[in-house]
Chains A and B, each alone.
Chain A
Amino acid sequence: MSRHAGRPPGGIAFEDRMATTEFRVAPEPHIVVDGDSCRGCTTRECVAACPAALFVPVSDGGILFNYEQCFECGTCYLVCNTAGAISWRYPEGGAGVVYRRT
């Protein structure tokens, strides 16, 4: 990593990395994050661990969450130590991540 100091990991911007994967966005979020629970959380395991970096700390002490580029892996609810902070289900049929066939 030191050889990429000043450059994004792997030499590719995170948005470009995520743009390689297809997501069919459902109208309804399949994950709901309770902002009040997050404000009291100091450990914030989700922020580092989510492979899609969907949990973003904001200046008022809360967490901004966007479900649209979710890999549906389950990491966030497993690492979360705040009961009730993350409500997690699979997106509606046909929606969400679609890995490529070629």
Chain B
Amino acid sequence: MRQRGRASSEEVTRDAGAARVPVDDKRAARVPVDDKRAAQVPSGATPAARFDAVVVGAGPAGSAAALVLAKAGRSVCLLERGPFPGSKNLFGGVIYAKVLDDLVPSWRDEAPLERWVTRRATMVLTETQSLSVDFRSGAWGRPPYNGATALRPRFDAWLAEAAVAAGADLVTSTTATGLVRKPGTGAVAGVTTDRPDGTLLADAVVACDGVNAFLAKEAGCAGEPDPAHFTLGVKEVIALGADEIESRFGLPPGEGADFEILGGSGGVAGGGFLYTNLDTVSVGLVLSLQGLSRSGRRPEELLAGLKAHPAIEPLVGGGALVEYGAHLIPEAGLAMMPKLAADGFVVAGDAAGMCLAAGLWLEGVNFAIASGAAAGRAVVEALGAGDLRGSRLESAYRGQLRKGFVLADLTRFRRAPALLLSERVQNRYPELVCDLVEQMFTVGNPVPKPGLRSLTRTQATRAGVRWRDLVRDAWTAMRAFG
């Protein structure tokens, strides 16, 4: 394991005031389960550490849950398998952090954000064409702002620090290996970890362990995953420099751009994204797992295709690759949502499918924060009542979620993910709409202009789209986004 400071016996004595764990593995971790100390104690001599709640995963869901629990005066251990919170986490991406107004009111000044997004474009690409709806808003560049670009290793570490400041015990470099069950009832009573004597006992376990959701499966909340419910995100961070970014994207200093792209994924169902960070850009693809594995194409090759597109290359070309990464996205929303609780157990964030992949709206971090906070509040409520049965936790949790946007948005847009990954939207409509616009603006003199209706009919036929399907998809889209 990485170098860890040796904790003295005073430091490992648990008291609320001493539980300030630096959010970095290089410094001393003042926690009761430090590996150096545990290794010196004969096995069985140390009682397992005990908390009101153990939160697994210090991503935005886990840190929000731990923050709520700690603020309510509950002892909470926030477990993170990476050397620091955020070290395993990757997204596009943009964060819509107004959801933090209650939890960390000073977030606008304190959170490590890259740029406030004031330019938002939706692009449709074919091999040689591009069509954009390019929106700019001055209001988004002023408080209360809208979205901001961010890099997760910095943002997630900051949010975890807020949970620590509220009193949560952060334990990094520690992987939860399974659930502890109460003898007799089988209720969840903690987690085992990969540290010697690393069992953590708790009245409730909040699983925020990410998209692979191993704990929810072990708890019996989720079944076998359906690969159709996931997409793979691959991303490059490319260094360009702040001035160059502002000049290429036409941005005032400190403001940022968010481009969502349909049709740039080399024929594999999915989409692209391009975001401006402070002095780098993040460019990537989101790819259907099944489409990708059937295509036989490599993700980085498909991404190179997007970067070479004539509408994208001038924006990202010439910079040095700073980092390449990949992460799964829970794409299917309500269709993949597990049971949200079991006895002594709740699940939140990506692990619960609480991520909005609705094409026009692509949001995850705000859903993670809101669901984690709701899970935390449900546990606080259940601890107060002394009743941690799954039925009670599930109804308390759903009650909390109903106060906000998570279930409402996922319910409203439940038809969107399937529509967006459908064959026509992916493969036919980009060509149809780009060709239509090209024909519209191609001056064919001496041939007179065709009317838009006949043009649409001709292009639909050329793209292999029947009127019937066009009308049906328009209707589906109205329902999906209505």
Contacts and interface: CB of A to CB of B under 8 A. Distances in A.
Contacts, number: 147
Interface residues of B, number: 60
Given A48-B295, A78-B289, A94 B304 contact: no
A52 to B, nearest CB: 7
Interface stretch (B172-180, B336-344, B375-383, B444-452): B172-180
A48 B293 contact: yes
A18 B323 CA distance: 8
Interface stretch (B92-100, B102-110, B229-237): B229-237
A100 B154 CA distance: 8
A93 B321 contact: no
B434 interface: no
B195 A93 contact: yes
Nearest to B79: A93
Nearest to A27: B1
Contacts of B90: 71, 99
A24 B2 contact: yes
Contacts of B325: 21, 71, 97, 99
B326 A75 contact: yes
A92 interface: yes
A102 B82 CA distance: 16
A4 B214 CA distance: 40
Interface string B321-335: 111111110000000
B292 A21 contact: no
A6 to B, nearest CB: 13
B227 interface: yes
Contacts of A99: 86-90, 151-153, 323, 325
Interface in A63-85: 71-75, 78-79
Given A12-B321, A20-B323, A75-B289, A98 B82 contact: yes
Given A93-B81, A100-B151, 12 more contacts: A1-B308, A20-B322, A45-B293, A49-B232, A51-B234, A71-B326, A89-B214, A93-B194, A96-B88, A98-B87, A99-B89, A101-B153
10 contacts: A3-B308, A9-B305, A12-B321, A20-B322, A48-B295, A51-B300, A79-B293, A97-B325, A99-B323, A101-B153
Interface of A: 1, 3-4, 9-12, 14, 16-18, 20-21, 24, 43, 45-46, 48-49, 51-53, 71-75, 78-79, 89-102
